[in-house]
Structure 1
Amino acid sequence: MIAERGIPLIAAPMAGGISTPELAAAVSAAGGLGFLASGNLSADALAAEIAACRALTSEPFGVNLFVPSARRDLDLADYGARVEAAAARHGAKAGAPNWDDDNYPAKVELVVAERIPVVSFTFGVPDRSIVERLHEVGTEVVITVTTPQEARAAADLAADLLCVQGMDAGGHRAVFHDDAELPGGGPLFGLLTAIRLVQAEVDLPLIAAGGVVHGADVAAVLSAGAVAAQLGTAFLVCDEAGTTSTQRAEIAAGQRETALTRAFSGRPARGLVNRFMADNAAAPAAYPQVNNLTRPMRAAAGKAGDPELLSLWAGQTYAQARPMPAAELVHRLMVEARRALAHATARL
């Protein structure tokens, strides 16, 4: 559907309330593909978002699912004490470091029943039976990958497209197996390098994600062979995004560096460097346990407007994000991409 319809722009699914139905609908209505992020939502909450998005647009949109982690019995007592001390700054407690499956089975049933046009998977590959069920109802399956090895595993499951994520992407790395000894959970590749390496391994349409914030970036990845560009950070400051005022202010200021961290969730993710990240550079590889552990702290910091205890996910190019309505951004990106492609052709 993505390649056949010639959709060159995709709004990345951003969990935590950022990818609102309003944002997804606006992007799809403008000629891109909007996405809903199901991470940390119940199946009922996701169903409500799907209904809200369909009430806003008749255009297709996608839903992203987190593949559950297999890591369960981990000793997080020491890290829990660190989170407890930080949370106390706003009168909060640490959460329970429990494992959960993010309501994954129920959400799989939901997207099958709702016949969502595009379903993407992050943090691993779904069971083959899930891919087959989605194909039976006409759903296009996208699997997010960061390495050629992951691309081969996804291709073996008959994924329709791969979303290739470069190291400069904001938010969580999509690595299948989080290697605690590596900052990014696995090998780190820039986006164009990742595209080339994956192209050498599999023959599937590719969506490019990571550091794409301007139309010239879109043109670059399309010229490299991708069928579409996926942008997350660029949409963080759109009017329809659910980004908090605290994070919007930090993005607008543009003064912080970005880095990869496990401090907030137990999975490597890129965000704006703040005190909690700096104090917890050696956070354990334990998702979703750490995510559940820090949730009350993050909620309290959000209410207090304290950027030092929030997970301020953003890509390396965050300072170039432009606040405007999502439809206007889609239009500008397409105009810029066409201009960049025409300029490059004229120079050959």
Structure 2
Amino acid sequence: MDLLKVEHPIILSPMPLGGSPSLALAVCAAGGLGSIGCALSTPDAAAREIATMHASTDGPFAVNFFCHAQVAADLAAERVWNDAMRPYYRAWDIPFEPSKDWLTITPFDDAMCDVLERAPPAVVSFHFGLPARHLVHRLKALGCPVMSSATTVEEARWLEANGADIVIAQGVEAGGHRGTFLPRDPIWSAGGDIGTFALVPQVADAVSIPVVAAGGIADGRGIAAAFALGADGVQIGTGYLRCPEAEISSSYRRALEVAESGSTVVTNVFTGRAARSIVNRVVRDLGPISSLAPAFPSAMTAMRQLAFEAARQGDGDFTPFWAGEAVALARPLPAGELTALLVTEAMRAFLGEVANPTNVRLPD
């Protein structure tokens, strides 16, 4: 709270799909740290979103970017993936024209850092590691605390050693992309990822910087549990997706409404990187983990047009509905009201007064 200058140690997860400035601003207004996801944005688009945030709040907010390693195009792998996607295009009777737009997605670079220097946010967060050392130094010169996600203790130690001010301990329960960035033993591909409440205390013991717990937290009980295990804050994404400020499609919203504890799975079929989504047709048909999917972001080139056309007709079979394992705990409340409720629930849980948070009401 001292480092981020927030009233409550609750961070809205940056969500390029589902998040919005209005959602982030509502969390900021309620005393949390609102975040916007600019990982898929051009510098100009990111500048516009950051300007919107600055024009609407004097409080702190975070901006998030990817630091993925760029890989050379694998034309052979892309052809195989395209062949796997063609039957769906034929079924929808749309021309097969893979979009190359996603191939322009670049990790955080000097051009994006220039944008932040012109209009610094309070906090900068990253996924898939950290940017080049000189970029971290530029951000530090702006006075921006830097935080990034770790999925293992080894990654947490690496982040601290390379300049992170806060580490986000991301358990396998979390929705969206896994933040994994260090090489690991092949056993990981067979389900060896670590859950939030096993990861948090180990990370808290391993580093001296603040630890934020992420994954599977959507109510006050989860917040209290995270703090009991050594967290200094929590990051919540899925818990906010049913808020009216979340910019999601009607099919996405319906999927969230009916989702249960076993409705999500880690899959690579949407982007080429492991990410947790609600299961739909394409995940069942091609995944959840497909050896055919080319590396991130190439897998998106053949998926985008199909997903757009299907979604236009109200079909979410080809759209990633990012969501974590606590999806059934998400509540359709305005984001500011939800933030206040989370605080109330957490405080009562600390005091042992809450058995079921659905019985909790905000104090008058």
Query: With structure 2 as the length reference, what TM-score do the two structures score?
Result: 0.88
Aligned length: 344
> Does 2:285 correspond to 1:279?
yes
What is the distance in 1 between the residues matched to 2:352 and 2:190? Answer: 38
- The 1:5–1:184 alpha-carbon spacing in structure 2 relative to 1, beyond 3 Å, is farther
Q: Tell me the CA shift for residue 39 of structure 1.
A: 2.0
Task: Say if 2:265 is the partner of 1:263.
Answer: no
Shift of 1:285: 5.3
Which of 233, 257, 271 matches 1:228?
233
- Contact 1:112 1:137 (8 Å CA) reproduced: yes
Describe the shift of the 1:285–1:260 C-alpha distance in structure 2 as closer, same or farther (beyond 3 A): farther
Q: CA deviation at 1:181?
A: 5.3
Aligned with residue 167 of structure 2, among 162, 170, 177 = 162
Query: Do 1:69 and 1:288's aligned partners in 2 also have CA atoms closer than 8 Å?
Result: no
1-side partners of 2:45 and 2:84: how far apart? Answer: 31
Which residue does the alignment assign to 2:33? 33
Whether contact under 8 Å (1:205, 1:226) holds in the other structure is yes
1:9 pairs with 2:10: yes
Tell me, yes or no, if the aligned pair for 2:6 and 2:33 is still in contact at 8 Å. no
- For residues 172-321 of structure 1, the aligned pairs below 5 Å read 172-177=177-182, 187-254=192-259, 257-281=263-287, 282=290, 283-284=292-293, 286-321=295-330
Does the C-alpha gap of structure 1 residues 104 and 94 become closer, same or farther in structure 2, counting only changes over 3 Å? farther
> Could you tell me which residue of structure 2 aligns to residue 113 of structure 1?
118
What displacement does 1:7 show? 3.2
Identity among equivalent positions (%) equals 33
Per-residue displacement from partner, 1:273-309 (whole Å, max 9, x unpaired)?
Answer: 1110011112435101112331212212221111211
* d(CA) in 1 for partners of 2:206, 2:103: 34
TM-superposed deviation, 1:57: 1.8
Give, in whole Å, the separation in 2 of the partners of 1:79 and 1:313: 22
Instruction: Give the gaps of 5 or more residues in structure 2.
Output: 355-364
Instruction: For 2:189 and 2:82, locate their aligned partners in 1 and report how far apart those are by CA, in whole Å.
Output: 22
Q: Is the contact made by 1:151 and 1:162 (CA closer than 8 Å) also made in structure 2? A: yes
Report the equivalent of 1:86. 88
Distance 1:84 1:179, change over 3 A: farther
The question of whether the paired residues in 2 share the 8 Å contact of 1:24 and 1:35 is answered with yes
In the alignment, structure 1 residue 151 sits paired with structure 2 residue 156:
yes
Match of 2:358 in 1: none
- Please give the secondary structure, in 2, of the residue aligned with 1:293: coil
Deviation at 1:108, TM superposition (A): 2.4
Greater displacement, 246-255 / 283-292: 283-292
Secondary structure in 2 aligned to 1:230?
strand
Per-residue deviation at 1:149? 1.2
User: CA RMSD of the aligned region, Å?
Assistant: 2.2
